[in-house]
Structure 1
Amino acid sequence: MHDSAEPPFPHPLLEALRASPDSPAFEQGDRLVSRGELLDLIRRLAAALLDAGLGPGRGVAVRAGVSPEAFAAHMAAHALGCRVLCVRPGYTPRLLAHVLGMGIDAVVVDASTATPELFGAAGPAAMLSLGPVAGAADLLAHPGAGGFPDVTARPDDVALLTFTSGSTGEPKGCALTYRALGAHWSWQPRGWSPLAAEFAESLGRFLLFGTLSSTVILDYLLLCLLGGGTAVIPEEDGGPLFPYAIERHRITGSVMAAPRLCQMLDVLRAERVDVGSLRALILGGSPVGPHRLAEAVKRLGPIVYNGYGTTESGLISMLTPGDIARFPDRAPASVGRPNPGVEISVRDEEGRPLATGGTGEIYVRSPYLMAGYWGRPEETREAVTDGWLRTRDLGHLDEAGLLYLVGRARDVILVNAAVVYAGAVERVLAGHPDVAEAYVAGAPDERTGEAVHAFIVPAAGRTPDPDALTALVRSELGEDGVPQTITTVSAVPVATSGKPDKRALLELYGPAAPRGAR
């Protein structure tokens, strides 16, 4: 549990950088950035942000590529006690205007992200940049200030605004306070659990890609840096990232979603790529079918972890290699045990706790839950009650403490006015030995109101029989859950969040797709 006497975030990181100034923090192509250089960069950017009028309680949006400078900008804003808004790539101008309208005083960009749409959506916010950008003040041109960076964060101020996917509407900003960051499972090394320490040791060379707007990426990046590791940013060469970058850079740890894992396994089946340097491969962001997980363990060894969490809660549970070894028959279908500091309660529709084994909605409680949705008090009250967060996910706990997900409370398809949970159909399909991955979405239907459409990726060397899959779903879920169509695809489109894009699957292969698209 967090000790309230501990210094506020990001002080522990700054101290860790100061303790070993000559060791590398980032590696990007031929460029090495030492811990001392990173600390100096954070100090210089903090002075520049302060001179721009920013400090405790002020809002700073960061939309920049993956670079040492972008990470330093995040940490500098946190040192000043700012509210840092993480802007995902891929937002439309309308969504950009929506998220940047949440009390933002300044927007930090770099040359790769300074688009006209962003400038147009920023409104009255000051435009700041990491390097020369027309129309923005260059923070890196600031001379900086001497001494160790002062950390002026206030515990109950909002430290981070991260955003839900917005797949059913406008993305909601999840507010995380500095107090919560101080209690975070990965960001305070003095309070590390054995699992966090295990990750920190395994991330000696951490493959850093994607976006720093992802708190999942930040979690493991901070574990890497706090544990003395180096974050490796692979150079862009036009080719696929996985698994070649692991071999090229002798990566020891990485985090990825299911589509990236599938890409990696496809290559490893066809080619000899040396990934023997890996000590931890952490899966998260989207469900991984048990067969795909078992294949990953078989090919890569006992280094595969499968995490489950939400934007509102952070990491909830983690399936470890030890769990898989202890329960080889059932653990691959689970998402592991509760993360240290996390309590899980499975409840019925009335919010009453269920006995072990009962299936219901998953509620979680931890020191690092969101404080609420920014500017949405009613939705906050619906989501958080007495310190417990409703995840809207359905599942159950077994007697060994393993958590199993069976669907999404709101990911529903109304077939003949009956509720069909997409996650439940996905679970049944992915449980067939011929299926590596399964994704289910609903589409309007004249006869039934909505209809279930399934998209499957075959297991290696297998050819799924749609009739057998249909019969399997019918036997387990009844007639309403049977997919109207089952389409075999070789790969799944990925949204900007890194998760499978079901909407794109429907557009490419669904009932309204162009003729011949399948």
Structure 2
Amino acid sequence: MASDRHPQAILDLLAAAADRPVFEHGPRVVTGAELLDAVGRIATGLRAVGIGPGDGVAMSLGVDPEAFAAMVAAQVVGARVAGVRTGLTPGQLRHVLTGGATGRDAAFPDSAGPANRAVVVDRSTATDGLRAAADGLDLLAVGPLDGVTDLLAGPVSSDALDCAGRPDDIGRVTYTSGSTGDPKGCAETYAALGAGWAAYPDRWPSAVRDLAAQLDRFLVFGSLSSLVMMEYTVLTLAAGGTAVVAEPTGGPEPFLPHAIARLRATASVAAVPRLHQLVVGQLTDPFDLSTLRALLVSGSPLEPGRLAQAEAVLGPVVYHGYGQTETGLISLITPAETAAVPARRASVGRPAEMVRTQLRDSFGNPVPVGGEGELFVRTPGQAAGYWADPAETAAVFVDGWVRTRDLARFDDDGYLYLLGRTRDVIIVNADIRYAGPIERVLASDPAVAEAYVVGRPDEQTGEAVHAFVVPATSERPDPTALADLVAGRLGEASRPRTVTFIDAVPVGPSGKPDKRQLRPPGASQVQSR
């Protein structure tokens, strides 16, 4: 029986899969025993340099078996593990690598250690920019790297796989996109990680059980610092499947369908824009996707018509999920459920059995049955708060509940429907981008009197940022320079797709700006790039 002491359940899965392939990486086939040995070697190496419970370790790694082993090994020794996303500005990268805080985090005074001690890299990520951002931290490597300690090089110690994580310590910090400036880190305790579901078949919600049966060959790409990619890789191992690693070939083929066809994948994940690109590509230049049985789509709302089109082109393979970094999985709807009742395409499924939900009005009161309100949830593995951000922690984590800041309703059968947002955000390639910080960056230009930002549907990115600017003088500022200013401060995904110059912002009956009246198309629109 697997212990709840994280990540013991993952170690048990690897031990049980000793002779079975658990990862494929190009020509390499890695068994459970081999991957468990890698976890042991890296854990031994981390302990040898003094990394232990409460120490912060940033992980900047590619996507391969060793990256997975390193993420698990750092939690074996009880460290606070933070994955490093791609696309961060130099300042944001420094913030994530160091852990942001200069001392103990006020939000977690009993468990949090000081700012990060070390950064773990591999040959693909140890760039000059990362090395500069990691100045003052210990640099460690997974694999040979000149002048850097190789965590894989040594033997496995007798205590290598003894899980040292303390229940109240922070075990994982998952950083958001950085759309507000510095990325926010959702901090999960070791107790919460141990209460998760992915590694425990007896805890799987019914929809996840249905999905797990399709995970014979799960296509892994991007980064294992992605909460979704890591969780569903663990789910694949627990389901008896193999994680197959996809790397861009550099050729002209569309990445996802090419990888599915080449690697005979049975399942993968896709944000809404990638799903659209996949469907359009199959209509014009199809690949053989006959092995595909499950495509988990999440990150932003999926319009029912788009889901119907995907089902018509790809077959009954789309599992539409809803969750947040703060909560993990909230709900999931299966192809069988949407086939049985097509109106459910507008839903994100019924909340998982272990998830509690509540709808509240704007005053925080529960709404009557059948009403609409802001969705609050409780999940066993939810974050405890935001690392080094007690104010935001207090605003979102309320009396044991997590404010999703999504408006929702339930139908008579318990299916959940998302109606909109209580916050002014744009979801670009599944990353949340807040309008306020973008507006403030634009308004920091002396040539800008006022700036307003809205999001609109976009076939390439799900939604895109569009800016409306009131010039400070009769001379208009350079729209490309304004877009570059935003990208430089907040990251490329926050770059306005268009900049439109206006004389004044529309106002509502209250006299306040009414951004709902702003529409990107128009004669005064100027493309920012």
Q: TM-score range by the shorter chain?
A: 0.7 to 0.9
Between 41-50 and 394-403, the greater mean CA deviation after superposition: 394-403
1:485 is matched with 520
1:104 counterpart letter in structure 2: N
- TM-score, length of structure 2 as denominator length: 0.79
Measured after TM superposition, the shift of residue 327 of structure 1 is 2.1
Equivalent residue in structure 2 for 1:292, among 297, 303, 306? 306
Over residues 334-367 of structure 1, what are the superposed CA-to-partner deviations in whole Å (9 max), with x where a residue is unaligned?
2121122111212111111112443322111111
Structure 2 equivalent of residue 138 of structure 1: 150
Q: Which of 390, 394, 398 is the equivalent residue of 1:377? A: 390
Matched, 1:342 2:342: no
- Does structure 2 conserve the Cα–Cα contact (< 8 Å) formed by 1:185 and 1:196? no
> Which of 42, 54, 58 is the matching residue for 1:57?
54
Describe the shift of the 1:211–1:440 C-alpha distance in structure 2 as closer, same or farther (beyond 3 A).
closer
Distance 1:322 1:130 in 2: 42
Cα 1:104–1:254 shift into 2, 3 Å: same
* Matched residue SS, 2:255: coil
Superposition pairs of residues 245-256 of structure 1, within 5 angstroms: 245-256=259-270
Cα shift readout 1:95-119 (whole Å, capped 9, x = no counterpart): 0111223211111001111112222
8 Å CA contact retained: 1:280, 1:305: yes
Aligned to 1:281: 295
Partner of 1:361: 374
- Give the Cα separation in 2 of the matches to 1:70 and 1:242: 21
Please tell me the residue identity of whatever aligns with 1:444.
F
1:297 maps to amino acid: E
Tell me the residue number matched to 1:116: 128
Distance 1:437 1:376, change over 3 A: closer
Question: Which amino acid is the alignment partner of residue 61 of structure 1?
Answer: A
Deviation at 1:36, TM superposition (A): 0.9
Alpha carbons 1:181, 1:187 under 8 Å: kept: no
Aligned counterpart, 1:307: 321
Cα deviation digits, residues 248-295 of structure 1 (max 9, x gap): 221111111012111211111013422121221100122222111111
| Alpha-carbon displacement from aligned partner over 1:35-56 (angstroms, at most 9, x marks no partner) | 1110111111111111010111
* CA distance in 2: counterparts of 1:148 and 1:46, whole angstroms: 6
Name the aligned partner's letter for residue 407 of structure 2: L
The Cα of 1:240 is off from its aligned counterpart by: 2.1
Question: How does 1:63-78 map onto structure 2 within 5 Å?
Answer: 63-78=60-75
Q: Distance in 1 between matches of 2:121 and 2:37?
A: 20
Match of 1:207 among 208, 216, 219: 219
Among candidates 408, 420, 439, match of residue 407 of structure 1: 420
- The answer as to whether partners of 2:41 and 2:153 remain within 8 angstroms in 1 is no
In structure 1, how many angstroms separate the alpha carbons of the residues matched to 2:87 and 2:515?
A: 35
Give the equivalent residue in structure 2 for 1:387: 400
Aligned residue for 2:345?
A: 332
**Greater CA drift, 282-291 or 130-139:** 130-139
- After superposition, the CA RMSD in angstroms is 2.7
Which of residues 83, 91, 99 is equivalent to 1:86? 83
Deviations for 1:119-166, whole angstroms, at most 9, x for unmatched residues?
222232210001222342111212222577211221111110001222
**Hey, what does 2:336 align to over in structure 1?**
322
Structure 1: which 5+ residue stretches go unaligned? 448-478, 488-508
Aligned position for 2:508: none
Judged with a 3 Å threshold, the aligned counterparts in structure 2 of structure 1 residues 263 and 406 are, in CA distance, closer, same or farther, namely same
Q: Structure 1 residues 204, 436: closer, same or farther in 2, change over 3 A?
A: same
- Which stretch shows the higher mean deviation, 178-187 or 56-65? 178-187
Q: Which amino acid aligns with 1:263?
A: Q
Residue 26 of structure 1: CA displacement? Answer: 0.8
Superposed displacement of residue 297, structure 1: 1.3
Q: Residue 218 of structure 1: CA displacement? A: 0.6
* 1:218 alignment partner, SS class: helix
Which residue identity does 2:416 align to in structure 1? L
Give the total of aligned pairs.
Answer: 447
Relative CO higher for 1 or 2, CA cutoff 8 Å, sep ≥ 6? Answer: 2
In 1, Cα distance between equivalents of 2:13 and 2:248: 30
The offset of 1:402, in angstroms, is 1.7
Q: State the Cα distance separating 1:187 from its structure 2 match.
A: 2.8
Q: In the aligned structure 1, how far is the partner of 2:194 from the partner of 2:328?
A: 14
C-alpha contact 2:43 2:160 (8 A) present in aligned 1: no
Q: Is the 8 A contact 1:408 1:421 kept in 2?
A: no
The offset of 1:200, in angstroms, is: 2.5
Identity of aligned residues (%): 46
Gaps of 5+ in 2: 100-114, 426-434, 440-451, 472-513
